[in-house]
Amino acid sequence: MSAGGFRKEQVAPLFRGFVMIDFTLTDEQRSMREAARRFAQTELKPVAKELEALSDPWECFRRTRDVYRKAAKLGLTRGFIPVEYGGLGLGTLDYAVAAEELVKVDPGVPSTILANGLALAPLIYFGSPEQKKKWLSAYCAGQDAEDGPYLATYGFTDTDGGANFDSPDPDAGFRTHARLEGDHYVINGAKCFATNGTGWERKGAWLYALFCRTDLKKSARESLSVILVPGDTPGISVGRVENKLGLRLTVQPEVIFDNVRVPRENLIGREGDGILIMNRAYNWRGALLGIGGVGMMQSAFEYCLEFGKHDKRGGTRPVLHHQNYGYMLANMKMRIEAARYLVWRACHWVDTHQADGTELPVLAKVFCSETAVDVCCDALYLLGVNGYVKEHPIERYLRDALGLPVSDAGNMGVRRRQLHGLFLHPQYDPNATVNNALLPFDKLQASEV
């Protein structure tokens, strides 16, 4: 090359013994994917359409219990728990590979499974050794219990809303309050959209990881805390169960806490650690929620592809031969592949950084959930009015996809605000993720934006 460029003798040493960035699945991951696919096709698919059509949201969820038990026997419900507590110690990327196959059939049961993971993430990342041994071991044992499998709940959103959970104004934010009396906290408040919060008998979940204020005179950044609340504690009751447009096979109830007393030792970390704990847990869940969007998109694409091969719409050739149909499929496929590899990258980040660092998990959650809505809309357009009727699954894919951007910390209320706060951080590096450089989360990223 000309002066100032690379010469051959300079470049050659750089590439001796180089290692490619490899997206090839391991034998173990391929085996997991195949096992998940068989389970989805043989156990989940036969009941998903029937249950999804039930008018009563509680009955719809309750009747997933048998399928969930079978998932528990395969180890799917405890795979994210470390081996020393009875889990399988699987990585987040492993879970994403398997979860895509489940979501392609229906997102309900995998959402129930991953809601347990979200609820237990505060314990996994911030719990004391004693807390982990007690609760994680009990959860794993409960997956085979007669009254199980156990369900855990991430009790985050107050009934008044969750977007302003971190407000610097003590008069705003969560009102669920834990008052310390001696060696016990006394908790009052109510949570909504508390996935799994009914338990299987509508008497409450096995365990709640409850986000609450320990001092209503201090801001959330000083007082938001996480307390483990066993579901059989007196004072817990289940209110209404949300009747949702989509995601019908998973349950989101209101849960009320009325003078609920729990030992002080159930506090995870310290008082005021709630925002740090929330961020880490939502990073884990955000990376995986993206795969839900990928699974829905992939199913919509595959259905449209087969439809286009056979349906002529009254013409002389199948519609797949028409340019508009083929080009729209091409656009769908591009977005699916981009979304899948962003999820894989975010899951790899979570696994290698202990779920710290906000950027990639949030990007995966926001991009994949909103892209899923776009792709499922395009699928409906391709089928025309046929896509709008229940004979075809496209309308269900679209209803399910619409729930992703507003769930698990909504994209507008929380997730984009997380990114905005990150960009305002004085140490933010726009090239950090490319260089695998970690900017640990701190409360500066929760600054008012």
* Integer Cα distance of 144 and 307 in angstroms: 42
Counting Cα atoms < 13 Å in the Cβ hemisphere of 114 gives: 27
Residue 53 CB coordination number (10 Å): 11
- 232 assigned to active site: no
Strand partners for 135: none
Q: How far apart are CA 276 and CA 220, in angstroms?
A: 11
Out of 106, 158, 166, 408, the active site residue is 408
Distance (Å, whole) CA 56 – CA 17: 60
Please, which residues have CB within 8 angstroms of residue 267's CB and are 6 or more apart in sequence?
185, 225, 226, 227, 228
Contacts of 308 (CB under 8 A, 6+ apart): 318, 319, 320, 325, 326, 329, 382
Dihedral of alpha carbons 297, 299, 302, 306, sign: negative
Q: What is the DSSP letter of 161?
A: B
Angle, vertex CA 296, rays to CA 298 and CA 308, nearest 5? 50
Q: What element of type H or E holds 360?
A: helix 359-383
List 207's β-bridge partners, or say none: 152, 230
What is the C-alpha separation between 202 and 188, in angstroms, rounded?
A: 20
CA 431 to chain centroid = 26
Q: Which are the catalytic amino acids? A: 408
